Amino acid sequence: MNIKDIRTKTTEELKTELGEKKAALLNLRFQHAINQLDNPHKIVEVKRDIAKIMTAIREKEIAEGKN
């Protein structure tokens, strides 16, 4: 995910995508626990995407004046 693409989305879209990414992370962790995950680096990528989305949401809150 590119941060430029994330910043162009609305807060509601970001929150929806955040929920999807968290569900995907949970699924990846289950797959990793039972040794069905082919690429364990995928977990790291999803965690980074979650962090980027959360950062963008916080930036929008600050810009709107919500502390």
Please state the domain extents for the chain. Answer: 3-64
- Could you please state the CATH topology (level 3) that the domain comprising 3-64 is classified under: Helix Hairpins (1.10.287)
Average pLDDT over residues 36-55: 96
Q: Quote the mean pLDDT of the chain.
A: 95
Average pLDDT over residues 11-27: 97
At residue 53, does pLDDT exceed 90? yes
pTM recorded for the entire structure:
0.91
Instruction: Identify the pLDDT of residue 14.
Output: 97
pLDDT band at 1 (very low <50, low <70, confident <90, very high): confident
* CB neighbour list of residue 25: distance below 8 Å, 6 or more residues apart: 43, 46, 47, 50
d(CA 65, CA 16): 22
Average pLDDT over residues 47-63: 96
